[in-house]
Each structure stands twice: as C-alpha cells, then as structure tokens.
Amino acid sequence: MERPPCLLLLLLPLLRVSAATPEPCEVDDEDVRCACNFSGSQPDWSEAFQCIASVEVEIRGGGHSLEPFLKRAEGYADPRQFADTVRALRVRRLSVGAARVPARLLMGVLRVLGYSRLKELTLEDLEVTGTTPPPPSLEATGPALSTLRLRNVSWATGGSWLAELQQWLKPGLKVLNIADAHSLAFACEQVRTFPALTTLDLSDNPGLGERGLTAALCPHKFPALQNLALRNTGMQTPRAVCAALAAAGVRPHRLDLSHNSLSATANPGAAECVWPSALNSLNLSFAGLEQVPKGLPAKLSVLDLSYNRLNRAPRPEELPKVDNLTLDGNPFLVPEASKPQEHSSSSVVPARAPSPLSVGMSGTLVLLLGVRAFV
C-alpha cells in the first residue's frame, strides 16, 4: 500500500542503517508527546513513525539537509488521495527544527497538513533553500493554524518569505511569533491581510530598531491586532515606536517594550506622536530608564516600569493616569544594602536585585552542597 506523504511519513527510511546510535525518538507513556532528535551522521528517519499517534510532535533534524526527501514528496501528485489518513492523525502541535529544507518540500508538507487538525506549528533553526512554488489553486491549501512560531529561520527568498508562506496557510492565524529573523523587511505589497491575527510577537530581534519596525509592520495588513510584543528589539524611545505604529496604522491594545535600552528623553525636535487610542497596557520594564519617559499615552490601565533605574518615586504629573502601576525593582525601592552594582554603560539593562527569597534559596543550595562535600 502506498503511504501518505504527511510530514512524519516523508521522513521515511531513505537511509536505513543499523541502530548502533541511541534511539532518536522518545514517546511518553500516554502517547501524547513525541520528540525525535536525529543528530547522528546517518539517522534512521523511519524512527519518526513512532510519533504517528502523538498530539505534540517535535522533530530536530540534526542540521541535516532534507533535500533527499524532495523527490519522494514530488512523487505524490495529488495529496487529496491521502486526505482521510492525514485527517486521522492526532497531531495538534508540531515543531520542526535544525535542518536545511527546500522550500518546495516545506510547502508540500504544509499542503498535506492542510488535511490535518494541526493548530500550532513551530519552525526553528531552519535554512529554507530554493524558491517557493506558487500554491495550487485548490480550495483548501495548508493547515488552519492558530499559532505560527518561527525562530532563526532563514529563507533564500529574503523579504518575500512571509507573503509566500502565507499563501500556504488558511487565513485564520491568530498568533504570529517571529524571533531571530534574518529578514523582517517584508515585501508588503505581496502580503495579504491577516484578518484574524490578534498577537504579533517580534521579540528577540535585537537588530530591528524603529526603522526596521516600520518595514515589518505592513500597513493595514493586521486589522485585528491587539497585542504587539517588541521585547528586545533594539527600540530606542517610546515615542519613536509610537511614530512607527502610527505610520503602519496598527492599533494594539497591549504593547510590550520591555528589555529595550530606552532613553526617556525624545529628540526635542521630534514631532509629538499620537498613541493608538486603544492602547491600555504598556510594558517598559527592564528598559534601563532613569526617569519616566515623556509623551506616554495620557491614560493606561497597566503600566509596568519595574526593574528600571528610577532613583526616586515618579511624581504624579510625570505619570499617565494608570490603574495598575508596577515599580518593583527600581533603586528607589530597593534597600541600600542589596542595591545592584552601578552600571557604567547606560545601554545595560539593570540586573534584577537579589530578593530575600533568592538569597535564601542560594543559602540553601550552599548548605546542600556543603553537606554533599562532607558525605
């Protein structure tokens, strides 16, 4: 019987070798989670069959090229013949990483997964090679994902990758998470609207900066956006972020700017920026701030200013109207004795001051280690 070309089954015994290496796959007792790590030099890909009944599947390709699977995948002219088999798969969360994969293979897998009930897909440490084929004009291309996460994925097609990938997904995506991206300068004219996307997380792209943000936030492509996370993205002032949001016409309710080295004072010549009216939560924690930035939105439900370098309590007129203000971990609140060491560079985000709990914990640890040393 011909086997269906779903992702797990594509990883078929092309290279069957004697199992001298440790088992690459582990399945838990309930058959819920299955993880494979094909790190050897000649992995036995057929081991991935063990994951066939799992709900959460994680496959790490050990940096191998998946090129040899392409021919096999292309042997399946019409994936519809496998639809019933793929529909029966239990997989809801799939994570694929550490491999070189031709774009045509990746899209072929997505097409087949279109018949699955996959909800969350994570691609990590992947090098996607070659050009992306245009999607077939079938009614249902690709899986109906709610969450797509990419970390450290490079695409031979550069900035058009998002538009191309999007064509292979059904349009209900709610959460898109892109970290350590190689290109966020999207070809916006090719990108279609993400009608249901409520969360866009671009955190951990330290080279992005406000200009990069303007390029990444394709105007009017994210009409349902509510949460925008820009943690550790090289942002420099809240006001410049405000300007980038205004330029892109995005109106998030929640904005996370934590772990950026922000300066409080905007360029005095810079024009005022009007914050999105729906914005009600702003996270400025771990931002190295020595004072409350000027020009924040006039009213917020939540403002997190924790773990900055505020040396005195902010005066009411310096703060927006806030229902829920967090100031923990600022020097003016930290007792003199446990103050963190002064940082010489203003770009360094202050470290969390040791809490009595963590001091207690490390004390316990020292005790345990001490006891071990004597037995």
Ligand X SMILES: *[C@@H]1O[C@H](CO)[C@@H](O)[C@H](O)[C@H]1NC(C)=O
Q: Count residues contacting ligand X (CB under 6 A)?
A: 18
Question: According to CB under 6 A, which one of 302, 319, 331, 354 is a site residue for ligand X?
Answer: 302
Q: Which of residues 76-135 bind ligand X (CB under 6 A)?
A: 125-127
CB of 337 to ligand X, least distance (A): 24
Site string for ligand X, 170-209 (x = CB under 6 A): ----------------------------------------
Residue 342: burial class (beta carbons within 10 Å; 0-12, 13-18, 19+): exposed
Q: Of the two residues 8 and 126, which places its CB atom closer to ligand X in the complex?
A: 126
SS3 string, the chain, reads: CCCCCCHHHHCCCCCCCCCCCCCCEEECCCCCEEEEECCCCCCCHHHHHHHHHCCEEEEEEEEEECCHHHHHHHCCCCHHHHHHHHHCCCCCEEEEEEEEEEHHHHHHHHHHHCCCCCCEEEEEEEEEECCCCCCCCCCCCCCCCCEEEEEEEEECCHHHHHHHHHCCCCCCCCEEEEECCCCCCCCCCCCCCCCCCCEEECCCCCCCHHHHHHHHCCCCCCCCCCEEECCCCCCCCHHHHHHHHHHHCCCCCEEECCCCCCCCCCCCCCCCCCCCCCCCEEECCCCCCCCCCCCCCCEEEEEECCCCCCCCCCCHHHCCEEEEEECCCCCCCCCHHHCCCCCCCCCCCCCCCCCHHHHHHHHHHHHHHHHHHHC
Could you say whether residue 44 binds ligand X (CB under 6 A)?
no
Q: Across-strand partners of 121?
A: 94, 148
304 binds ligand X, rule: CB under 6 A: yes
Q: Which is nearer to ligand X, 152 or 190 (CB)?
A: 152
Q: Check binding of 152 to ligand X (CB under 6 A).
A: yes
Of the two residues 117 and 180, which places its CB atom closer to ligand X in the complex? 180
Give the nearest distance from C-beta 190 to ligand X in angstroms. 24
Q: Which is nearer to ligand X, 97 or 108 (CB)?
A: 97
Least Å from the CB of residue 38 to ligand X: 8
Kindly tell me which of 38 and 186 has the beta carbon lying closer to ligand X: 38
Q: Of these, 111, 231, 239, 309, which contacts ligand X (CB under 6 A)?
A: 231
Taking the complex as a whole, the smallest distance from the CB of residue 121 to ligand X amounts, in Å, to 17
Is 258 a binding residue for ligand X by CB under 6 A? The answer is: yes
Query: Minimal distance in Å, beta carbon 259 to ligand X?
Result: 6
Least CB distance to ligand X at residue 48 (A):
14
CB-based contact 234:220 (threshold 8 Å): no
Choices 161-169, 187-195, 253-261, 362-370 (CB under 6 A): range interacting with ligand X: 253-261
Give min distance, CB of 78 to ligand X, in A. Answer: 31
Helix axes 238-248, 209-216, angle to 10 degrees: 20
List the one residue from 60, 64, 111, 309 that touches ligand X (CB under 6 A). 60
Work out whether 64 is an interface residue with ligand X (CB under 6 A).
no
Q: Please, which residue, 214 or 232, has the CB nearer to ligand X? A: 232
Which class for 238: exposed (0-12), middle (13-18), buried (19 or more C-beta within 10 A)? buried
CB 127 → ligand X: shortest distance, Å?
4
Which CB sits closer to ligand X, 112 or 181? 181
- Quote the tokens at residue 128: 């996607």
Closest distance to ligand X from the beta carbon of 140 (Å): 30
46 binds ligand X (CB under 6 A): no
324 binds ligand X (CB under 6 A): yes
One-letter amino acid for residue 216 of the chain: A
What is the residue whose two structure tokens read 């077939």? 136
Which one of 81-89, 164-172, 187-195, 278-286 is the stretch in contact with ligand X (CB under 6 A)?
278-286
The residues that touch ligand X, with contacts defined as CB under 6 A, are 37, 39, 60, 125-127, 152, 154, 231, 256, 258-259, 283, 285-286, 302, 304, 324
